[in-house]
Amino acid sequence: MKKRMKLRSISPFRINFDLKMKLSTLLIIVALFQVKANETYSQKTKLTLNEQNVSIERVLDKIETLSDFKFAYNEKIFNYQRIVSINVHKERISSILDKLFIDTNVDFEVYNKQIILKIRQQSLSFLDGDQSKQERKKVSGTVTDEAGIPLPGTSIIIEGKLIGTESDFDGNYSISIPDGATTLIISYVGYQTQKIIIGNQTVINITLKEDSNSLEEVVVLGYGTRSRKTIAGSVSQISGKVLENRPITNVMNGLQGVLPGLTITRSSGRPGGENYQLNVRGLSSLNGGNSPLILIDGIEGDLNLLNPNDIKTTTLLKDASAVIYGARAAGGVLLITTKTGKKNQTPQVTYSTNYSTNVISNLTERVNLKQWVEMDWEAKTAAGAGAQFSGGGTLQEVLDKIDRGAEPDDIGGNSFLFYKLEDWDGALFDDATQQNHNITITGGSERSDYSTSLGFTRTDGILKNAWDSNERVNLRLNHGYDITSRLRLETKISFDRNRNLEGAWGSNEVFNQRNKIFTWFPVFSESGNNYVTQWGFGNPRQIANRDQGKRTNISENLRGNFKLNYKVNDDLKFYTQVGINKGEGSRENFSAVSLRWNYNDTSAGTYRSKNNLFLSSSESNYKNLTAYFDYHKIFANKHDISLMGGASHEENENKSFWASRQDFAQTEVLSLNLGDAENMENGANASHWAIKSFFGRFTYTFDSKYIAEINYRRDGTSVFSPDKRWGDFGGVNLAWLASEEAFIENLNIFDHLKLRVSQGTTGNQNLNTGNLYDYIALINIGGQYPFGNGEKAQSASEGGLVSENRTWENLKTTNFGFDFAVLNSKLSGSFDLFKKENNNMLLGVNLPSVLGGAPPAQNIGSLESTGFELSLKWTDQLSEDFSYSVGAYLSDNTNKLVDLDGRDRVSSTREGYALGTVFGYVWDGIIQNQVELNEYKSLTGIPTNIAIGDARYKDVNGDGRISVYDDNGNDADVVDLGTNSARYSFGVNLAARYKGFDASAFIQGVGKRTVFYSGAFAIPFEQPWWQPLKRFYGNTWTPENPTAKYPRLTTGGTRHWNYRNSENTKVNGAYARLKNITVGYSLPKNVLEKAGISSLRLYLSGEDLFTIDAIDGGYDAENTDGSDTFYPFTKRYSVGLTLTF
């Protein structure tokens, strides 16, 4: 078999040589304009030739001599020795080649200066029929995507005729229109098909829109891809577009509420410290492993560090489809694919940016000075204690002093009572800014494609004059290269760097103090120079201040991902992939000496008498080596078989080291060696794990209607003892493409209807929470006990009892679902019902405590989760100018601890109840009078000093005692008050486009959730020296206000009784939040073309602007644990642009 390639040009990279040289100047913009100029070489250059009776090869040689053009062709495809004659005068290369190859099957593509000769594609051969000789009208134009990037290979077909063409590499097309033809149909994989009335137009430029719901869309699965139409499992995929043009700081910020079945929560608004948590379809285990496995281009990765703009698709495997990832897939699998260039694409540069102003939202409301004094007076009096302001006169006198802004009262001991209202929030907070910049350059030649990007994001926090910011830089180069026609190399290299700054006390501490200190303390001392402190309180303004020190936290991540694809023939392919993630983390915490001052500027001691510097550095090395093959063949046109199989090895090692010193004489140069050696400390940690896997998938599709898929994986881990190390995971997906059946087609209802059912098992191995060597008995060394004169004596203790019998938790997932499209696919949707059963959940065995240690976890528990997901989408194009779409989804899940090995105790993990269930008493109103009080006091288990105005709970079991358990250990008076989990998560997407204008809105919410606040948020005077928050003002019981929601104010012991968990303290955490609203305008193409710009879109965007909920007092609905140290979220008002040229 002689298949010699004859490549006329020497180096394939030569294609890009000019471009690369110029980019290397780093003057990106300048270089790009030069690139633009080069694009037109083939158009500008005109040649004169006169060759008679020579071989084609000689003509080509001649052209190469006369110009910079280079030819590449396979000698087999045509006879280049054929004798021709040609005579042209100052003609373009395309015209010359047209003449040269007329009446042959040779096609050519001009790529910059490279010309590739090839056989005309089969699909176009029908153009060469008789019709081509008829006289026809011609229509031409350019096909681009929404960003203005030309789409080569777009199919343009004339409706009703078997005539069509494809766009060329510049997106240009030209087609002859036969008589009677009225409409063009333009389609391209992954884009919405468009129909255009031809009318009298001769130039028709077409912009295709990406279609995420398209049935032909390529969906990423584990170790392969598949068209959406033929997917048998429950898989959601969204395109990276949903993350573009939004002022988001982080991938998870952008994914929140976008994928049905994926719940993303955040617990802080601190830049870079949001603590996003991902969960797919509810909880799978008590032991963690509830968040999905995240794979970026097939290799495990960290979403926090990823540039949202680099994402091409995000795919969520929810059911037995995840089985292919076996032991780590119990929480589902999130597959991220990054953007690549396209072959035969001219270089495109996209610059996008947005600037935001971030405005604090939902700050818990503080009481003002008068309200504080009134509440304190009431509460202290009730407790028989003296009111804080009792030194300032009677209540009325104090209130009068406040009205006239009296000078402070000196009450001795350097303490003062203040009568002027302080604007603490003004002193603490300010609007902040945020900016995103991204430059992406993509392109490709016949053999290679590339996409490279540089991103920068900076978010400043809302704390004034504080270290409170996050910066991320992302660099990425994705490159694909066909080494031969069979062998392709794909490299994806990225570098991410995140730098987070915080004050020495931590930003959360500012909120902790802000929510607790007395409202009426002044910020500054009498002289105005010092931050005031009194009675040991922290001054939040001081705590926030830059002069207190700084925490710098830097993470860097270098990822290399190399994949070699080898095509043996059209059916069989081999893939070998190597992934390396190298993570580096460093912390530098400097804490300055911190002084405390009384209002009269006398010293009140120190918060911290010695400065100190803490340094830590950590390193992680992750390696992944994977090899698999993929075989696909269709037999007898009906039997479509694919078989995939392979193996992988993953290993990870973490190391960290830290050291600290105190007492730096100066703080100009902060280097560890300059600190006092007396109290230096250091330490180190290290851990590692490894997993080996074998996996396979067999898919059989019969007649394009019936799909059966079997996934299998065998995993071995270092975490379990050799005997229990290997686990087998498998699953089956079945689907029926009903709309392919004649009897369904005849109904004329469904454009698409697919029924799916699947069942499979996955494992739960949470590798991030320690327990890496649970089968080896270990000794923990640590602690310090001060013998002698501060001897730092370490201690050694048993590292927990071990079990050699532990193994994987097995999670069985069953899914039933269907997808449909009706009304010409204007309405489409899908519905899934699922059940997850963890039948050998790891639980600590319950053994008598005489054992003397916690028994190791063994596979004895059982948890069951059920739920559904529903998504619907309506898209319609009313005219060429106006289109709109509405999408919505709703999902829900609940779980139940079926078996907890007989442990039936009132707790958030209780047999027969959902995880996180909150138990509480039954609210029975407030004790209104002496009669009610006397009657209630006949019960035991109530506070001895209970009084009128205090809470009353029902004695549910009637044993005369308010208690959790009765004497026999059974439940007494507590009931299930609900769980903190989000129920009925929903999202609504609205989008519309009119000519150049586009608008979209995205609403996300939770239909049901029970929240209980904690700390200062939960109880007024939780500690008598904490301020009561505004929510309680006027809402507590007094004889004059007997119908108040909350019991009387008191600093006495009954306050905790009054705010025990009950229906009365339960907060309805349901909400709907306008996550994003965007209005954009794309400038008309004809205007931009003159400036050499392919597209320019300007937009205004807002994040989290508006929320509907039932919560008062400034609490945030997303603060799901109700913590009083919560850093609030911000609303973002943003302006941005996207420029492509």
Partner 1 sequence: MKNYNIKFLTLFVTVAMLLGCEKDLNLAPLDQVSDASFWKVPGDFEKAANAFYRSLASHANGGYDQNSDITVGGSSNVNSNGSLIIDNGPNWNGSYSTIRATTRITENYEKALDIQSDIARYAAEARFFRARAYHNLVSTFGDVPLITKVLTLESEELDAPRASRADVVAYILEDLNWAIANLPLQSELATNEIGRVTKGAALALKSRIFLFEGTWAKYHASGDASGYLTTSINASQELIGSGEYAIFMGSSTAEAYRNVFLEAGEGSSESILARRYNLDLEISHNTTRWVSTFHNAPTKKLADMYVCTDGLPISISPLFQGYDTMISEFENRDPRMSQTIITPNSGVAQLGSLIDLPSIGSGNGNSNSGYLSYKFFSDNEESQLGKGYYDYIEFRYAEVLLNYAEALYEKNGSISDANLNTSINKLRARVGMLSLTNTLVTSNSLDMLEEIRRERTIELAYEGFRYNDLRRWKQAENLLPVNLRGVKYTGTEYETSPPNNSKTISVDSEGFVIADNVSLRSCDQKLYLFPIPVEQIKLNPNLTQNPGW
**Subset of residues 560 to 599 that bind partner 1, contact rule: CB under 8 A:** 564, 566, 568, 574, 576
Which residues face 891 on adjacent strands?
869, 985
26: left (phi over 0), alpha (psi -120 to 50) or beta: left
Taking the complex as a whole, the smallest distance from the CB of residue 1049 to partner 1 amounts, in Å, to 12
Say if CB 252 and CB 275 are below 8 A apart: no
**SS3 at position 588:** strand
Rounded Cα distance between 302 and 768, Å, is: 12
Which residues inside 803-832 make contact with partner 1, applying CB under 8 A? 803
Taking the complex as a whole, the smallest distance from the CB of residue 920 to partner 1 amounts, in Å, to 16
Of 544, 557, 549, residue with least CA distance to 472: 557
Q: Check residue 3 for interaction with partner 1 (CB under 8 A).
A: yes
Which CB, 506 or 645, lies closer to partner 1? Answer: 645
Which residues inside 460-519 make contact with partner 1, applying CB under 8 A? 484, 486-487
Q: Which stretch in 114-122, 264-272, 710-718, 883-891 sits in contact with partner 1 by CB under 8 A? A: 710-718
Rounded Cα distance between 1032 and 1050, Å, is: 12
Taking the complex as a whole, the smallest distance from the CB of residue 1032 to partner 1 amounts, in Å, to 18
Annotate each residue in 364-383 with x if it binds partner 1 (CB under 8 A) or - if it does not, as one string.
----------------xx-x
Rounded Cα distance between 242 and 989, Å, is: 10
Q: Which of 129, 160, 384, 912 binds partner 1 (CB under 8 A)?
A: 384
Rounded Cα distance between 649 and 657, Å, is: 27
Residue 832: phi and psi, rounded to 5, are: -135, 140
Beta strands in 823-856 (DSSP E): 827-844
Which CB, 59 or 857, lies closer to partner 1? Answer: 857
Q: Which of 81, 123, 685, 768 binds partner 1 (CB under 8 A)?
A: 685
Rounded Cα distance between 132 and 135, Å, is: 8
Say if CB 328 and CB 293 are below 8 A apart: yes
Taking the complex as a whole, the smallest distance from the CB of residue 482 to partner 1 amounts, in Å, to 13
Taking the complex as a whole, the smallest distance from the CB of residue 704 to partner 1 amounts, in Å, to 31
Q: Which stretch in 319-327, 680-688, 701-709, 1104-1112 sits in contact with partner 1 by CB under 8 A? A: 680-688
Which CB, 919 or 1127, lies closer to partner 1? Answer: 919
Taking the complex as a whole, the smallest distance from the CB of residue 658 to partner 1 amounts, in Å, to 13
> Count of CB atoms within 10 A of residue 906's CB?
15
Which residues inside 612-651 make contact with partner 1, applying CB under 8 A? 625-627, 629, 646-649, 651
Which residues inside 387-406 make contact with partner 1, applying CB under 8 A? 387, 390
> The tokens 């996550």 sit on which residue?
1075
Say if CB 662 and CB 610 are below 8 A apart: yes
Q: Say how many residues touch partner 1, by CB under 8 A.
A: 108
Per-residue CA distances from 442 to 15, 207, 218, 1136 (Å): 14, 19, 20, 21
Q: Check residue 940 for interaction with partner 1 (CB under 8 A).
A: yes
Annotate each residue in 527-546 with x if it binds partner 1 (CB under 8 A) or - if it does not, as one string.
---------x----------
Which CB, 5 or 83, lies closer to partner 1? Answer: 5
Which CB, 627 or 1079, lies closer to partner 1? Answer: 627
Which CB, 365 or 526, lies closer to partner 1? Answer: 526
* Longest alpha-carbon distance in the chain: 122
Which CB, 83 or 686, lies closer to partner 1? Answer: 686
Of 12, 114, 74, residue with least CA distance to 346: 114
Per-residue CA distances from 172 to 131, 168, 1098 (Å): 22, 5, 26
Calculate helix-pair angle for 93-100, 56-66, nearest 10 degrees: 170
Taking the complex as a whole, the smallest distance from the CB of residue 171 to partner 1 amounts, in Å, to 34
Which residues inside 686-705 make contact with partner 1, applying CB under 8 A? 686-692, 694
Taking the complex as a whole, the smallest distance from the CB of residue 942 to partner 1 amounts, in Å, to 11
Taking the complex as a whole, the smallest distance from the CB of residue 803 to partner 1 amounts, in Å, to 7
For CA atoms 376, 378, 384, 390, the dihedral sign is positive
Which residues inside 968-987 make contact with partner 1, applying CB under 8 A? 969
Three-state SS string over 379-438 comes to HHHHCCCCCCCHHHCCHHHHHHHHHCCCCCEEEECCEEECCCCCCHHHHHECCEEEEEEE
Q: Which of 200, 849, 879, 1086 binds partner 1 (CB under 8 A)?
A: 849
Beta strands in 900-1019 (DSSP E): 917-921, 923-926, 951-953, 974-979, 983-994, 997-1008, 1010-1011
Rounded Cα distance between 1014 and 485, Å, is: 64
Q: Which of 179, 967, 1040, 1090 binds partner 1 (CB under 8 A)?
A: 967
Extract the tokens encoding 674. Answer: 């300059």
Q: Which of 7, 124, 684, 747 binds partner 1 (CB under 8 A)?
A: 684
Q: Check residue 298 for interaction with partner 1 (CB under 8 A).
A: no
Q: Check residue 410 for interaction with partner 1 (CB under 8 A).
A: no
Which CB, 845 or 1001, lies closer to partner 1? Answer: 845
Rounded Cα distance between 92 and 190, Å, is: 34
Which CB, 85 or 797, lies closer to partner 1? Answer: 797
Which CB, 483 or 755, lies closer to partner 1? Answer: 483
Taking the complex as a whole, the smallest distance from the CB of residue 668 to partner 1 amounts, in Å, to 26
Say if CB 17 and CB 112 are below 8 A apart: no
Q: Which of 62, 437, 725, 896 binds partner 1 (CB under 8 A)?
A: 725
Rounded Cα distance between 468 and 460, Å, is: 6
Output the DSSP codes for 174-214.
EEEE-TT--EEEEE-TTB--EEEE-TT-SB--EEE-B-TT-
Which residues inside 871-910 make contact with partner 1, applying CB under 8 A? 905
Which residues inside 764-803 make contact with partner 1, applying CB under 8 A? 772-773, 776-781, 783-799, 801, 803
Q: Check residue 199 for interaction with partner 1 (CB under 8 A).
A: no
Chain centroid offset of residue 5 CA: 46
Q: Which of 131, 371, 414, 928 binds partner 1 (CB under 8 A)?
A: 414
Which residues inside 214-273 make contact with partner 1, applying CB under 8 A? none
Rounded Cα distance between 30 and 759, Å, is: 56
Rounded Cα distance between 851 and 847, Å, is: 7
Q: Which stretch in 33-41, 167-175, 959-967, 978-986 sits in contact with partner 1 by CB under 8 A? A: 959-967
Which CB, 225 or 780, lies closer to partner 1? Answer: 780
Q: Check residue 855 for interaction with partner 1 (CB under 8 A).
A: yes
Which CB, 776 or 1087, lies closer to partner 1? Answer: 776
Q: Which of 415, 552, 667, 866 binds partner 1 (CB under 8 A)?
A: 415
Which residues inside 86-105 make contact with partner 1, applying CB under 8 A? none
Extract the tokens encoding 22. Answer: 């110029």
Q: Check residue 180 for interaction with partner 1 (CB under 8 A).
A: no
Output the DSSP codes for 428-479.
HB--EEEEEEEEEEEEE-SSEEEEEEEEEEEEE-SBTTB-EEEEEEEEEEEE
Per-residue CA distances from 700 to 571, 707, 720, 733, 964 (Å): 15, 6, 35, 11, 57
Rounded Cα distance between 805 and 267, Å, is: 37
Which CB, 180 or 788, lies closer to partner 1? Answer: 788
Amino acid at 686: A
Annotate each residue in 1005-1024 with x if it binds partner 1 (CB under 8 A) or - if it does not, as one string.
------------------xx
Which CB, 847 or 1108, lies closer to partner 1? Answer: 847
Which CB, 451 or 548, lies closer to partner 1? Answer: 548
Q: Check residue 1053 for interaction with partner 1 (CB under 8 A).
A: yes
Which CB, 29 or 851, lies closer to partner 1? Answer: 851
Which CB, 1054 or 1123, lies closer to partner 1? Answer: 1054
Say if CB 1036 and CB 1047 are below 8 A apart: yes
